[in-house]
Amino acid sequence: MAPAGLTEVRAAPAVQCGRAAGVRRRREPERTVLHEVVRGHLQTFLAEARERSEGAGLPRFVEREFERYLDCGILAHGFARVRCGGCKHEFLVAFSCKNRGVCPSCSARRMHDTAAHLVDAVFPRVSVRQWVLSLPRWARWLLARDAPLASRALAIALRAIFAHYRRLERKGRCGAVTFIQRFGGSLNLNLHFHCAVPDGVFVRDETGVLFVPARPPTDEEVHKVLLRIARKLRGLLLPKQPEDPIDALDAGYAESVQSMQMTGLADPPRPRRCSAFIEGFSLHAGVHLHANDREGLEHLLAYGARGPISLERLSTLLDGRICYRLKRPLPDGRCELFFTPTEFLRKLSMLIPPPRRHLVRFHGLFAPNSGWRKQIVPACPTPVSPSAEHEPPGRPEPDRSPRAPGRIPWAELFRRVFRINVLQCERCGGEMKVLALVTEQAAIKKILEHLDLPSTGPPIAKARRPPEFDFVA
């Protein structure tokens, strides 16, 4: 067996399906700018955080996010063996970290998986409108540090949006799927809500449940909805002064929220169709999708579920600083942001969501305990073949009782997103099957050394004095 064939599949859009795709290649996260920055400056960044907070440092979940990212996609930390049943050709797939904040690969996987699941098993074939609620800076900080408070704020916003639709039919029911995004385009902390709402109401009669579409909202109607939301949220949030002491994470949140204040981002946005702006609160409802535009719906949901950072826009300068290219210019004309490595890690650490807090929320008819849900959501798609049911990028879990699939199998997701059949042998065209999940260090080392592959992960630099940069030059 040639070492080149025993490598991980790389999810690249340019790769074509079938044997013409060439030899599969491993993703190689250790060669990316982000991985080099994290492993080279993580310990220095954590030491600075402990020094800044008099020894307390950042919460353990922040440190664990970075540590697990450094193990993601590295064969030395475990892998799956995939073999062709015909020609016995093999390749290895490294385990993933499945983090929600730092890792671009796992964020992209979760983004496509979430969007595909919502289109296939949640949203019926009706028109959908997106409502985006942004908040003033003082409210972003309060909601970022208090997840239950953010849930209450979201419930207030959705009640106002549902009330707008119920004017069409008072006995009608509404539903929404909301993405809680904690980041802005400038790597700043910007907690806001992307709500995908069926553009109408569901009513029940003798024949079953029917959907009654609504007309597009006017600017005045959007303004009234936002006025109601802003009044309720001010009443909820203004009396909420922090009772517990401000820790290092809260101080970092405040710094990240205010980081772009001097660039003009606090100015009111340009007027747009179906939008409103009131004292820092903004509401936009101009994105509408037809009932038959399922591909557009999947793209919209993927946008709501995306991760905070793009590897394609990240680079390093000759002096060691980090450059992040912006998708859109800032009001002051800047198209790039520059950070020292530790400043960049501090930016990323503030975007990591707290553990055990859902970033995708279901309300109304889509709520799990809704009595109408089974009559609204489409039937689950037919399961794929057993060979594709394995999940080699994740660590193995103990056997559990059968249940409805909550995640699309990794091979099926590759086929759906990139039109690549990763379980088709590149040599003979036969079916590839997961042979084993290798987790024991002794077995990992033996296999990798036999294939002349690195049996240890990239070295992680120790804490050191940060370099000095000449920002004038």
Do residues 21 and 78 both lie within one domain? yes
CA distance 452 to 400: 37
Report if residue 64 sits inside a domain.
yes
Q: Are residues 436 and 362 in the same domain?
A: no
One domain, residues 274 and 416: no
- Is residue 401, in this structure, part of any structural domain at all? yes
pLDDT given for residue 292 in this prediction: 94
471 is a domain residue: no
Q: Within a domain: residue 472?
A: no
- Shared domain check, 155 and 97: no
Q: Is 23 left (phi over 0), alpha (psi -120 to 50) or beta?
A: beta
61-95 confidence digits (pLDDT tens): 999 999 999 999 999 999 999 888 888 888 888 99
| Domain assignment of residue 224, yes or no | yes
| Same domain as 8, residue 89 | yes
Q: Is the dihedral of CA 161, 293, 284, 131 positive or negative?
A: positive
SS3 label, residue 449: helix
Residue 113 placed within a domain = no
The yes-or-no verdict on residue 6 having pLDDT over 90 is: no
Percent of the chain with pLDDT over 90: 57
pTM, rounded to two decimals: 0.84
* Total number of domains constituting the chain: 2
The range of the structural domain enclosing residue 435 comes to 3-103+384-450
Show Cβ contacts of residue 63 under 8 Å, excluding neighbours closer than 6 positions: 46, 57
Residue at 334 is within a domain: no
The distance in angstroms from the start CA to the end CA of the chain is: 53
Q: With the CA atoms of 97, 98, 101 and 105 taken in that order, what torsion angle do they form, in degrees rounded to the nearest 10?
A: 80
pLDDT above 60 (res 264)? no
In a domain, 465, yes or no: no
Same domain membership, residue 424 and residue 356 = no
Q: Are residues 76 and 96 in the same domain?
A: yes
Residue 204, φ and ψ in degrees, nearest 5: -115, 135
Query: Are residue 158 and residue 277 in the same domain, yes or no?
Result: yes
What is the residue-wise DSSP string for 286-310? Answer: EEEE-TT-HHHHHHHHHHHT--S--
Band the pLDDT of 260: cuts 50, 70, 90. low
Q: What is the pLDDT of residues 365-414, one digit of tens each?
A: 999 999 889 888 886 555 444 444 444 444 444 444 444 456 777 778 77
**Are 236 and 280 in the same domain?**
yes
Q: Report the pLDDT value the prediction gives residue 113, as an integer from 0 to 100.
A: 92
108 and 307 in contact (C-beta within 8 Å)?
Answer: yes
Q: Tell me: pLDDT of 17 over 50.
A: no
Average pLDDT value for residue range 11-23: 37
* pLDDT above 50 for 2: no
Same domain, 364 and 439: no
Q: Supply the pLDDT for residue 381.
A: 54
Domain match, 14 and 161 both: no
187 and 64 share one domain: no
